Amino acid sequence: MDFNVKKLASDAGVFFSRAMQFTEEKLGQAEKTELDAHFENLLARADSTKNWTEKILRQTEVLLQPNPSARVEEFLYEKLDRKVPSRVTNGELLAQYMTEAANDFGPGTPYGKTLIKVGETQRRLGAAERDFIHSASINFLTPLRNFLEGDWRTISKERRILQNCRLDLDACKARLKKAKAAEAKAACEGDAVPDFQETRPRNYILSASASALWSDEVEKAEHELRLTQTEFDRQAEVTRLLLEGISSTHVNHLRCLHEFVESQTNYYAQCYQYMLDLQKQLGRFSGTFVGNTESSSPPPAATSPPAVGAATLPAVPTIPVVPTIVGVPNTVAESVLNPNEVKPPASGTRKARVLYDYEAADSSELALLADEMITVYSLPGMDPDWLIGERGNQKGKVPVTYLELLS
């Protein structure tokens, strides 16, 4: 117990001495051993690496998990060294709700069928998101976290030791300086010729004894200074090697960054493909979904559309429609399924730019390539989500959502 108390008192004395030394350095009342410019640049680079790594790590965590409560939960599980429980993604939860709604409304109804198809796509999107989060956590977040919790802690520890060595070195320099000043003062007093009639001979003897004592103090201070300087140089070299290792850290983080970008690219490519597939499915079956709930009602009379309906329509590019002749059976609508037998209108066809690649589902459709130009037009009785597209001698149905109509 006595040993612990003495050690505590000694540590407290060292702490207050170094605090006073820091204060004197800030006020310019004490000398400070300066590090070389290269070492200072290494320190600044290490501090910058640590600060930016922390910011990138925190923001990437927000990107992968926007919910702060979930992030806190994952942090606690990680600190407790326990496995984080599996969490349902938002896309998977939405897919679950859509499937349940489809079963409630009837999976055979148009709305129910669409809910099932969209729900399945949302489930696939959720699974892709889960894989992306897992890959990014292992290949990107873990290396950054390992640097902050491993390498950086080692660097910080060695820097603190170097700082203490520097303070000890400066204290030894100050002690040696004071000892030399006192020795010089004692030597000056000892060199004076004593007046045995007016001064006591004992004063002369004391001056000589003090000079000898200060000489011993100077030798002791010089010995401590050499030892402290050796320890400081050794610690400075250790710290320098650790700081130069920041370059290797940058190389490692660069590799991890490439892996993160690759994972993110694959994730968005999967999402894009899933949505394209869903868009094709919805476009292919939109004709079945639209209006089939009204199949039991009689068809409307062959009258012209009211003017009010035309006034409420938004101003969008229109597609020319092949005119029909009153009294003649409309066989063109039946020929929509075979566009190769349909002739385009004499005038009024439109040009369109293809936005995305499209693979034809059957011989009645026209395959498309992104950014190509085609000629399009509509036919009476044709599904409004589809047009007839022509490219040279090729002709077939194309989905409107894949086109940009040009004026």
pLDDT in tens, 145-166: 999 999 999 999 999 999 889 8
Same domain, 256 and 400: no
Last residue of a domain, which of 287, 321, 340? 287
Residue 67: the pLDDT is 78
Answer whether 110's CB lies under 8 Å from 288's CB: yes
211 backbone φψ class: left, alpha, beta (φ>0; ψ -120 to 50) = alpha
- How far is 310 from 304, CA to CA, in rounded Å? 11
Last residue of a domain, which of 287, 318, 335? 287
Same domain, 234 and 367: no
Angle at 270 between CA 264 and CA 274, to 5 degrees: 145
Same domain, 273 and 389: no
- Residue 353's domain spans which residues? 349-406
Last residue of a domain, which of 265, 287, 309? 287
Let me know if residue 201 belongs to a domain. no
Residues contacting residue 3 through CB under 8 Å, at least 6 positions apart: none
pLDDT: is 297 or 5 the higher one?
A: 5
CATH number at residue 132: 1.20.1270.60
Q: Is the pLDDT of residue 289 over 60?
A: no
Let me know if residue 356 belongs to a domain. yes
- What global pTM score does this model have? 0.60
Closest CA to 378 of 358, 348, 403: 348
- How far is 387 from 339, CA to CA, in rounded Å? 10
pLDDT: is 178 or 234 the higher one?
A: 234
Q: In this structure, what are the phi and psi dihedrals at residue 119, rounded to the nearest 5 degrees?
A: -60, -40
Question: pLDDT digits over 393-404, tens only?
Answer: 899 999 998 998
Q: How many domains does the chain have?
A: 2
Beta pairing, strands 350-354 & 373-377 = antiparallel
Strand, coil or helix: what is 171?
Answer: helix
DSSP, res 245: T
Residue 310: the pLDDT is 38
Residue 309: the pLDDT is 40
Half-sphere exposure of 209 (CA within 13 A, CB side): 6
Let me know if residue 47 belongs to a domain. yes
- How far is 219 from 237, CA to CA, in rounded Å? 27
Let me know if residue 181 belongs to a domain. yes
Let me know if residue 293 belongs to a domain. no
Residue 3: the pLDDT is 53
- How far is 37 from 239, CA to CA, in rounded Å? 15
Residue 292: the pLDDT is 41
Half-sphere exposure of 353 (CA within 13 A, CB side): 5
